[in-house]
């Protein structure tokens, strides 16, 4: 009786083994090149394409997760480095954004083929919907064990949100100021947060001044900008010319400038105005009552040979 049971079990095992070997020997055709491949193949030995869709998705998920994590590390490190080493911070932020682009470029789904074996061209918005899946990323905080920062998406999403905030909150009001007065035609000003990411500091960067503008036009444009933002709170406002910082003023004084100009207090916005600013270019800040505002504008943008026409013209 026992011998019969052992023999029956052996036969069933032999039959199962033979069945597995037969399945292993079953040959399939690669959907990319048509070559013969085993049924359990992951990659075609002829064209090197991945034929296992589940393996393709798992590998893409792991790769995209690693790239996304690296992009956040580079982006966060860059934001922190901006406060100490500006060049290092900018390079690190650029690396984080580049990794974000690579993240979205990695295919999340295997390619689809038509009846003839040619890859289908997916609809643009369908492809974007698959590629733009937001992913949660947990970045460890080095100084705090067990603590993590949780982010959704990639630094590219954060950069887009930051750019949108700069445009809507600062640049758009500045553009409205320049459009509403014909005297400002030809003047170009970039208004944005410091490094585009520090919300407490505003950079008022005078990019260009045409020969039509006089210093009073340049001055009025800034006053109009201050009036539009007088309800907002900032820690500091910087005046720059073509990206070079020349003066800075504290947020409270900037708010006061906007309020006094709204009240048409010209004695304050013309006479007291230069005393509120601190020079950052190494030159002595304008002082005294006589020609203080004229000296202020000369130090701001008058040293550029392109602005010689307005350097000597003052009110």
Position of tokens 């406060």? 83
Q: What is the pLDDT of residue 307?
A: 52
Q: What is the pLDDT of residue 189?
A: 97
Confidence at 264, pLDDT banded by 50, 70, 90: very high
Contacts of 196 (CB under 8 A, 6+ apart): 162, 163, 166
Q: What is the mean pLDDT of residues 240-247?
A: 93
Measured CA to CA, the distance from residue 205 to residue 193 in angstroms comes to 11
Question: Residue 14 pLDDT > 70, yes or no?
Answer: no
Question: Residue 12 pLDDT > 80, yes or no?
Answer: no
Q: What is the mean pLDDT of residues 282-290?
A: 59
Determine how many CB atoms are found less than 10 A away from the CB of residue 208. Answer: 15
Instruction: Give tens-digit pLDDT for 162-172.
Output: 999 999 999 99
Q: Which residue has the higher pLDDT, 308 or 172?
A: 172
Polymer length in residues for the chain:
315
Closest alpha carbon to 227 in 191, 293, 174: 174
Instruction: Give tens-digit pLDDT for 15-50.
Output: 555 555 555 556 778 877 878 888 778 888 888 888
Q: What is the pLDDT of residue 93?
A: 93
Confidence at 314, pLDDT banded by 50, 70, 90: very low
**Domain ranges (residues) in the chain:** 53-153, 159-311
Q: What is the pLDDT of residue 4?
A: 57
pTM comes to: 0.71
What is the residue-averaged pLDDT of the chain? Answer: 83
Question: Residue 294 pLDDT > 70, yes or no?
Answer: yes
Cα 52 to the center of its chain, rounded Å: 36
Closest alpha carbon to 120 in 129, 130, 110: 110
Question: Residue 240 pLDDT > 90, yes or no?
Answer: yes
Instruction: Give tens-digit pLDDT for 52-99.
Output: 888 888 888 899 999 999 999 999 999 888 878 888 998 999 999 999
Q: What is the pLDDT of residue 217?
A: 92
Instruction: Give tens-digit pLDDT for 155-193.
Output: 999 999 999 999 999 999 999 999 999 999 999 999 999
Q: What is the pLDDT of residue 247?
A: 95
Give the DSSP H or E segment for 78: helix 53-81
Question: Residue 233 pLDDT > 80, yes or no?
Answer: yes
Confidence at 315, pLDDT banded by 50, 70, 90: very low
Contacts by 105-113, CB closer than 8 A, 24 or more apart: 105/131, 106/60, 106/63, 106/64, 106/67, 107/60, 107/131, 108/57, 108/60, 108/61, 108/64, 108/133, 109/56, 109/57, 109/60, 110/50, 110/53, 110/56, 110/57, 113/31, 113/32
């Amino acid at each position: 009786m026992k011998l019969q049971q052992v023999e029956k079990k052996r036969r069933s095992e032999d039959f199962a083994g033979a069945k597995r070997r037969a399945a292993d020997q079953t040959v399939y055709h690669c959907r990319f090149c048509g070559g013969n491949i085993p049924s359990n193949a992951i990659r075609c030995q002829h064209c090197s394409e991945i034929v296992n869709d589940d393996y393709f998705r798992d590998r893409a998920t792991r790769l995209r997760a690693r790239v996304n994590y690296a992009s956040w590390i580079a982006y966060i490190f860059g934001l922190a480095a901006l406060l100490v080493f500006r060049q290092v911070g900018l390079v690190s932020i650029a690396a984080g954004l580049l990794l974000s682009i690579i993240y979205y470029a990695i295919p999340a789904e295997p390619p689809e083929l038509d009846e003839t074996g040619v890859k289908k061209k997916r609809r643009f918005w369908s492809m974007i919907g698959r590629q733009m899946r937001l992913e949660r990323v947990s970045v460890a905080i080095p100084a705090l064990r067990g603590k993590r920062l949780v982010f959704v998406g990639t630094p590219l999403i954060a950069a887009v949100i930051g750019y949108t905030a700069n445009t809507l909150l600062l640049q758009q009001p500045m553009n409205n100021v320049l459009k509403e007065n014909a005297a400002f035609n030809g003047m170009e000003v970039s208004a944005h947060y410091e490094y585009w990411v520090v919300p407490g500091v505003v950079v008022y960067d005078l990019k260009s001044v045409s020969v039509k503008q006089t210093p009073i036009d340049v001055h009025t444009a800034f006053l109009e900008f201050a009036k539009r933002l007088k309800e907002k709170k900032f820690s500091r406002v910087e005046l720059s010319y073509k990206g070079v910082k020349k003066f800075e003023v504290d947020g409270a004084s900037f708010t006061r400038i906007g309020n006094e100009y709204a009240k048409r207090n010209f004695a304050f916005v013309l006479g007291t105005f230069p005393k509120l600013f601190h020079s950052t270019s190494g030159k002595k800040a304008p002082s005294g009552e006589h020609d203080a505002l004229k000296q202020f504008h000369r130090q701001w943008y008058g040293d550029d040979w392109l602005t010689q026409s307005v350097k000597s013209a003052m009110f």
